[in-house]
Structure 1
Amino acid sequence: METITNHTITKERFLDVRHQTELICKSLQAEDVSIQPAEFVSPPKWHLAHTTWFFEQFILSEYKADYKVFNDDFAYYFNSYYNNVGKRVMRAERGLMTRPTLQEVLDYRAYVNAQLSEFISNGTSEDISNIIEIGLQHEQQHQELLLYDIKYIFGNQPSFPVLDYKIQLQADNDPQEFLQIKEGVYEIGHKGEGFCFDNELGRHKVYLHDFEVSNQLVTNSEYIEFIAAGGYKDFNHWHAEGWDYVQNNNLEAPLYWHQVDGTWMHYTLNGFVEVDGDLPVTHITFYEAYAFAQWKGMRLPTEFEWEVASHKFSFGQLWEWTNSAYLPYPNYTKVDGALGEYNGKFMVNQMVLRGGSVATSKNHCRPTYRNFFQPDMRWLFSGIRLAR
């Protein structure tokens, strides 16, 4: 995987990222960490172990002299999708593993932390530093996924537990306006110093027509108007595939929403509360984002429009669905071997999201970052920005 980095790899930075993962899980009980209520949800214990395996597999086992693997079976248990490094437990079966225990996984983390800290302290080459940097960025991605998965685990329980790790959306009190972007040729993609993933590279020119984009995300109150107007019952707003998905899954509102005595309530990691109309709507599929835009007589921006306009508005509260399929940029290349599997093989049947969310590590919230999910996914912190 090609990357650009100007981060200094230090033991302190490595341990700080690792500690953040454990901080997210601090208030979880043993009963919380192995459950997998849906195939797309990974148990928290698996995240704790997988992010550790990444460093063991790609750095310690490859480059640390006389390194002894913590447990020979862990590569099979905690590999995710890297076909180049061997067989693995299938994703849907991660929740079947009550063993290894949580304590064994925490011991594994401590062991790898100590080994890699010593390795870093002895100095590393630029190539090895780049792989460690990928590992840190990878762990930060899993910190966000942890919050998605914990919320799904808690949000599908009758007790609606509260997580002792606070993230909170904020209302935008500025008046809504549509920002004008003039037609022209614009450059897209990462340039300059700082880390980026390989899917951000291949900087290239695109031609854009005149367009306008909202300075704000769509709010809960706006989305409630869509629901009240029969938005989920009118096929005219939907892609055919989206309409089939709505019908087959009986969708009537965003994920975690429940109507109680005529009032819309929803689960947040801070508890089960009334929907705040001023906050941006979240936990929606691409299908729902598209249908809402159609209902409003507007559309979703393309990822190129979003990137060009991003300097004009604030972003980072929610990942914003774009109307762009996840495809490689011109001259995109991937490295050989397992790390080449990181992004490239997912460039099919997925849609691009831009901007970051309240669950995203702040160093990932950059204009060129390309997140991607299947259009039916909505357990992520996703939202809508309109264009016209």
Structure 2
Amino acid sequence: MADRDPAIVKADSTPVASPVAEELAAPPAKAPGKLRRVAVMGLVPLLIIGGAVTYWYTLQGKVSTDNAYVQQDKVSVSAEVGGKIASVGVREDQNVKVGDVLFTVDPSTYQIQLAQADAAIATAQASATALANSSDLSGADASAAREDIGFAQANLARQQALWNRGFTTKAAYEAAQHQVAQAREQLRLAEARQVEARAKLATGSQVPGVLPAIAAAQAQRRAAELALTRTVVRAPMAGRVSQADRLQIGQEIVSGLPVVTIVKNTVSYVEANFKETDLADMRVGQPATIELDAYPGVKLKGHVSSIGAGTGSEFSVLPAQNATGNWVKVTQRVPVRIAIDEASPRPLLAGLSSHVTVDTDGKR
């Protein structure tokens, strides 16, 4: 080893730098990821604030509510006469026109009533004929009474002459006087019966030319005939039949009790219940946007058709009584009718929930 080359020894004695030492000695570089994180942390609050401001400005001039429901005109149909259902002419969800037969009520009872009314008319007519031909009206009784008076007066005159000459008794004379008085009373009664008979045949101003008894019987017949026609129940308007499952043949129905409903599905509107605080800038005619919960993505154009004349609580069956010590103020809701201005791509059903936004600045 002592015999080594001096040049080699010199070269080997040069110190060699370590890579780790070089890395520690180099100046530290700035991390780009840290700058990126700082930029994001500063930008996110700005975006949130900008979004909130934009959202706030988009809400200006608009009021909305999700307390809104699709409404359609509907009529609850009931029978105007009672009885058992004899036949059913419709089924559930069937479209009907005005005048279509919905169901019929057993007409037997009302046919009997019509026959009884015809019999009452005939009885009144027969009574009128008999009264017109009665002796009371003809005056025969009055004529007979006048003849009796003449005979009684002649007899009284004879008895008076005999009484004056003393050839008759007092009893015979008084009997002749009584006969005259009785004949005069019979004439008075005959004339009274004649007046009464004429009065029974008189007609009033309400039904001129028709005897009251006959007019009453005819009115009874018209009532029976009307009840008979009402055994056939027809559709009062065009629409779609609902709740037809109540119509069962043989079921007893009560007059005036609704048994089936017809929905007029050609005309729909939305009844939106807005808070009273939303009505300050709302006016009739302002445009509105309608969104239906049943059909996501469907938006319909409409406008404010009318604003209710009172809050919903005012027209409830039991209005709130606030004159108490434990009164709590509650924001009231006012019904606002929204007319639909365009045809819906999906069928509108009565009662569907919707979301209504009214542009109170008049812009869509």
Which of structures 1 and 2 has the larger relative contact order (alpha carbons within 8 angstroms, sep 6+)?
2
Q: Which has the higher strand share?
A: 2
When normalised by structure 2's length, the TM-score is 0.18
Give the TM-score of the pair, scaled to structure 1: 0.18
**Greater Cα radius of gyration, structure 1 or 2:** 2
